[in-house]
Amino acid sequence: MYASGEHARVPLPRQSRNEEDTPTGFDPEPSMRLNTTPNPLPARFQPRSAPANPRRRTRFLHGPGLRAWMAVLLLLLGAGGHVRAMTLCANSAVSLQAAFSVSEIVQQEVTIQIASGSYALPGMIVHFAAPVTLLGGYNGDCTSRTAPVSAANTVLDFGGSGVLLQQISGTPQSKIVVDGVSFLNAAPFKLYVGDWGEDSAIRLSRTRISGVPGFGEQSEIWMWGEGTIDLENVLIDRMATQMASNECTFEIQAISGGSISLSSVTADIAWNKKFCLAGPSSGDSVANIHNSILWSSVQTSSIDASFIDTVNVVNSTYFALLRHGANGQTIDVLHVDPLWAAPGNGDYRLLAASASVNSGTVIVPTGLPATDVEGHARWVGSRPDRGAYESPFDDATNYVVTTVADSGAGSLRSAMEQANSLPNPATITFAIPGACPHVIAPLTVLPKVTSPMIIDGTSQPGSTLNDDADAFNANVCVIVKPASGTLPLGFAVPQNAAAASLTLRGVAIGAITQPVVLLGGSNHVIAGNRFGGLVGGVQLPGAGLYAVSIGVNASGSLSVGGVHVDDRNVISGASLGGINVMGSVVSSPDRCAILNNLIGLSPSGNTALPNFTGINLSGSGCSIVGNRIAGNDNDAIWINGGSDNVVQRNIIGVGVNGNTLFSAGAGVRIGAGSGNVVGASATSAVAGTIFSNTIRGMGAGGIVAVAGSDNVLRTNLVYGNGAQGQGMAIDLGVAGPDANDAGDLDDGANRMQNFPTIQRIVLAQAGGSLTDVPATVGGQLDAAPGSYRIDAYYSHTCNPAVHLTGRGEAEAFIGTRRIDLLAGEATFEMPVVIPELADAAYVSLTATDATGNTSEIGTCFALGHADGDAIFADGVDGPT
């Protein structure tokens, strides 16, 4: 059923798959050697041994406890015929096996809460019918979860038998999530998620995989997914194997252009073997490795990346990396022994002398975890550690602010002066007596930051962190506002302060022309702060220029906001703009990040407190992800000459309550620059809206590319922009629609790529349902020879005001196909799913060439109420 709104999502047709297909290379028990079954994967991934027809079966002992669980399930099914999402409690081996059986039958998501303890289990093959989450660390009746959550608290011991956990298809996503669990003595251990072309996820956190004995003939730990595979705070150790040298003891495969993320992972790679990352034979996969240690305590080892388009390794420790031609960054890596405490005894904590201590990065694609694999605080010292364990070794000096006075003992000014006098990192915390808020009123500009410095306003008693998924409900107790008038600078790092770094958290700032200016140093974090607005009854005028400016010599990790909700900043009332990234910044999207902020809004996210521009991005290689930007007086995001930036999952022009907040300017404007990605990943051909931005209520167009080339503008939901909602969803060059030209020989913004036109739509059914109707679009594209990605969009409106024949909108993304043009104009067909057949229902197309130039959105094709099985163009491809 089609649902309008900022998260509208329409399922796409996917290739069918035999019900009995199974992942490869699995043996449930060491004593059983089963014949290989057919598999559609390329030879690189073919099985060495596999069970016959393992799906929908579970290998474990059955008993009275299991029968009782199944009786309860049958009662549930009989009561309503439909089981809602369930939460099950397992506190014994029998009840855990029963929970697995239940999860094979019910068609709704299941969460299995597992009480702390050790569970002796047989080998098993479990096919989950819907997404499943395994959570360890609960008390006996699962009424509470024991803190801290640690992998060591809940141990599943399989006694040397094989384990396969798989979830092939779900609604709308296939998913296996594990947190706070150890998997012990599984031989081998396999996770498999997703059907062909389906969004899927494997997510492991605070997880240990240990004691895999090995058979000598296959990857002993194997994870296979169609979408994202994320490992965070995962320990993989003691893989004793008889495999030959240079084989994969651990293998992760992202099959259909997915992504692999390793964050704070420790892996002890056995016996001169490899830690393998693999993608489809066509490439299109991305692997990000951050703050991880992939080493061998016995002999040399390597990371092997096969068929992966991009591999980024940041602040990690490893022996060797085999890229096989993959692109990507290698930043601040170590090739030295991590100095594990006692790996032979399973202790992979870091010794004090380890170079991996206090040398990680705070910017990772999935967000810096709050705790480590044992549930201890992740960030101790100036920087987080590498690997799954956070050590207690703190290299920072601590100062405490105890007064709101502008100077003298216990003042913020004095603490900053003392921190600047030391070369080593310093942490400034707050313990000011009395009730919140506490207003620090400097008479002159605060000391510039010239050394590594963490200023943590959240440490003030009475402060609370934001825990609202969409808005900002933190209690910010520390306010910095001049005693009178305004000051030119707040917290500033000068351009010649190469050794400086600034982390500013939990502070409210007002009446300062430039509240945060980062012109030098590296590894800056601005998170959990308020800029402008009313805080604790204190009115804070917005910035006279930009609230946060980054540029000149600033380098390394540059983060405004963060993945976690308590990292969110509220940035409002700035005269020039909320955030300014200068053209001197040349970074990469995993190092320069503007994440999850409220920009131009009040803390509720429903009322506008406008900046002039939301984000001014002149720099290159930055990511703008997950922000809510609305109510500003100009463009929400202005890419003002920058290249290779990534803009994804932002909600623009929409409040938290779903109401449109009118904003002048464009949602995303590209003034110049190349290689920017707005929406879909530049390297991924996977359909869906996982990367999409939602853009509504802008005074100008939704996405406007004035100049530049190779800018990917795909899968976004853009509609209801411009005067009376008649603005272009995607507009190239001068304002307004541009006609196609014969042979596509013109040039300009995105090389003025021609858009496809629709000739007919053939429905897969006649006289049936009017919603979620499979169909085939027949169209044509007049363009130069080459490869193109055709995307289809659905909307309830067609805009005749901007073109005689109308241009479509992107209210929903409904299908995609790659086509290859040999010469000149070509026809094509592509499958789509029509959300709703109605009088006011339209389909439009865009084309993106092989280098990333996306066209304007094309003319709209009217659907209407279709009684037959085909709808044909009436000669104009427009509304009828």
**What confidence tens digit (pLDDT) does each residue in 326-358 have?**
888 899 999 999 999 999 889 999 999 999 999
Q: Predicted confidence band at 249 (pLDDT cuts at 50, 70, 90)? A: confident
Torsion of CA 851, 594, 719, 828, to 10 degrees: 20
Determine how β-strand 330-331 pairs with β-strand 310-314: parallel
Amino acid at 669: R
Q: What is the spatial distance between Cα 365 and Cα 127, in angstroms, rounded to a whole number?
A: 30
Q: Phi then psi for 553, rounded to 5 degrees?
A: -110, 5
What are the b/e assignments for 5-14, b being 16+ CB within 10 Å?
Answer: ebebbbbbbe
State the residue for tokens 């299995």. 112
Q: Predicted confidence band at 723 (pLDDT cuts at 50, 70, 90)? A: confident
Structure confidence at residue 38 (pLDDT): 28
Q: Is the peptide bond before 148 cis (omega within 30 degrees of 0)?
A: yes
Structure confidence at residue 137 (pLDDT): 96
Structure confidence at residue 840 (pLDDT): 86
User: Do 341 and 441 share a structural domain?
Assistant: no
* Assigned token pair, 379: 């960030």
Structure confidence at residue 237 (pLDDT): 86
Lowest mean pLDDT among 359-363, 606-610, 821-825, 841-845: 821-825
User: Do 156 and 216 share a structural domain?
Assistant: yes
Q: What does the pLDDT look like over 725-770, one tens digit per residue?
A: 678 999 999 888 899 999 888 999 999 999 999 999 998 865 567 8
Residues 6+ positions from 799 with CB-CB distance below 8 Å? 725, 726, 727, 728, 806, 807, 808, 809, 860
How far is the CA of 847 from the CAs of 332, 781, 793, 855, in angstroms?
Answer: 39, 8, 12, 5
Tell me the mean pLDDT in the region 374-387: 91
User: Do 568 and 430 share a structural domain?
Assistant: yes
Structure confidence at residue 568 (pLDDT): 98
Between residues 364 and 675, the one the model is more confident about: 675
How far is the CA of 172 from the CAs of 85, 198, 200, 239, in angstroms?
Answer: 14, 9, 9, 35
Q: Phi then psi for 725, rounded to 5 degrees?
A: 70, 20
Q: What is the spatial distance between Cα 445 and Cα 196, in angstroms, rounded to a whole number?
A: 59
Asked, for residue 28, whether it belongs to a domain, the answer is no
Asked, for residue 279, whether it belongs to a domain, the answer is yes
Q: Answer for the pair 770, 749: CB distance below 8 angstroms, yes or no.
A: no
Tell me the mean pLDDT in the region 9-27: 30
Q: What is the spatial distance between Cα 170 and Cα 155, in angstroms, rounded to a whole number?
A: 27
Handedness of CA 740, 743, 748, 754 (dihedral sign): positive
User: Do 153 and 59 share a structural domain?
Assistant: yes
Domain boundary among 664, 691, 725: 664
CA atoms within 13 A on the CB side of 34: 18
User: Do 505 and 414 share a structural domain?
Assistant: yes
Provide the domain limits for residue 775.
Answer: 746-872
The 10 Å Cβ neighbour count of residue 865 is 9
Q: What does the pLDDT look like over 140-184, one tens digit per residue?
A: 999 999 889 999 999 999 998 889 999 876 555 788 999 999 999
Torsion of CA 552, 554, 558, 559, to 10 degrees: -70
Residue length of the chain: 880
How far is the CA of 54 from the CAs of 19, 21, 124, 806, in angstroms?
Answer: 10, 9, 10, 53
Domain count, the chain: 3
Tell me the mean pLDDT in the region 401-407: 97
Structure confidence at residue 801 (pLDDT): 53
Assign residue 851 a region (left: φ > 0; alpha: ψ between -120 and 50; beta: otherwise).
Answer: alpha
Asked, for residue 675, whether it belongs to a domain, the answer is no
Asked, for residue 389, whether it belongs to a domain, the answer is no
* Assigned token pair, 207: 């997880």
User: Do 525 and 432 share a structural domain?
Assistant: yes
Q: What is the spatial distance between Cα 239 and Cα 227, in angstroms, rounded to a whole number?
A: 27
Structure confidence at residue 870 (pLDDT): 57
Q: The domain spanning residue 851 has which CATH number?
A: 2.60.40.10
How far is the CA of 558 from the CAs of 441, 451, 551, 594, 786, in angstroms?
Answer: 28, 16, 10, 8, 38
Structure confidence at residue 224 (pLDDT): 77
* Assigned token pair, 746: 């013109």
Lowest mean pLDDT among 58-72, 245-259, 844-858: 58-72
Domain boundary among 611, 636, 664: 664
Asked, for residue 17, whether it belongs to a domain, the answer is no
Asked, for residue 678, whether it belongs to a domain, the answer is no
SS3 44: helix
Q: What is the spatial distance between Cα 113 and Cα 443, in angstroms, rounded to a whole number?
A: 55
Tell me the mean pLDDT in the region 513-521: 98
Q: What is the spatial distance between Cα 691 and Cα 365, in angstroms, rounded to a whole number?
A: 14
Long-range CB contacts (within 8 A, 24+) of 392-398: 393/350, 393/352, 393/357, 393/358, 395/357, 395/358, 395/424, 395/425, 396/424, 396/425, 396/426, 396/427, 396/452, 396/454, 397/422, 397/424, 397/425, 397/426, 397/427, 398/426, 398/427, 398/428, 398/429
Q: What is the spatial distance between Cα 681 and Cα 691, in angstroms, rounded to a whole number?
A: 7
Q: What does the pLDDT look like over 616-655, one tens digit per residue?
A: 999 999 999 999 999 999 999 999 999 999 999 999 999 9
CA atoms within 13 A on the CB side of 355: 12
Q: Is 355 exposed, middle or buried (0-12, 13-18, 19+ CB in 10 A)?
A: middle
User: Do 629 and 768 share a structural domain?
Assistant: no
Structure confidence at residue 844 (pLDDT): 95
Q: Phi then psi for 314, rounded to 5 degrees?
A: -130, 130
User: Do 267 and 408 share a structural domain?
Assistant: no
Lowest mean pLDDT among 212-226, 298-312, 801-815, 846-860: 212-226
Tell me the mean pLDDT in the region 445-466: 96
Q: What is the spatial distance between Cα 362 and Cα 557, in angstroms, rounded to a whole number?
A: 8
SS3 314: strand
Asked, for residue 702, whether it belongs to a domain, the answer is no
Of all helices (H) and strands (E), which one includes residue 102? helix 93-103
Structure confidence at residue 552 (pLDDT): 95
* Assigned token pair, 672: 């110049």
| Prediction pTM value | 0.73
User: Do 338 and 419 share a structural domain?
Assistant: no
How far is the CA of 25 from the CAs of 168, 218, 277, in angstroms?
Answer: 17, 7, 16
Structure confidence at residue 36 (pLDDT): 25
User: Do 416 and 318 share a structural domain?
Assistant: no
Structure confidence at residue 635 (pLDDT): 97
* Assigned token pair, 136: 């360890």
Asked, for residue 31, whether it belongs to a domain, the answer is no
Q: What does the pLDDT look like over 35-87, one tens digit per residue?
A: 222 222 233 223 233 333 333 333 333 333 444 444 444 434 433 334 457 99
Residues 6+ positions from 73 with CB-CB distance below 8 Å? 83, 102, 105, 106
Residue by residue, DSSP assigns 781-799 as E---SEEEEEEEEEES--B
User: Do 571 and 459 share a structural domain?
Assistant: yes
Handedness of CA 732, 735, 740, 743 (dihedral sign): negative
Domain boundary among 664, 698, 718: 664
User: Do 333 and 409 share a structural domain?
Assistant: no
How much is the mean pLDDT over the chain?
Answer: 84
Torsion of CA 81, 84, 90, 95, to 10 degrees: 10
Q: Is 484 exposed, middle or buried (0-12, 13-18, 19+ CB in 10 A)?
A: exposed
Q: What is the spatial distance between Cα 434 and Cα 157, in angstroms, rounded to a whole number?
A: 52
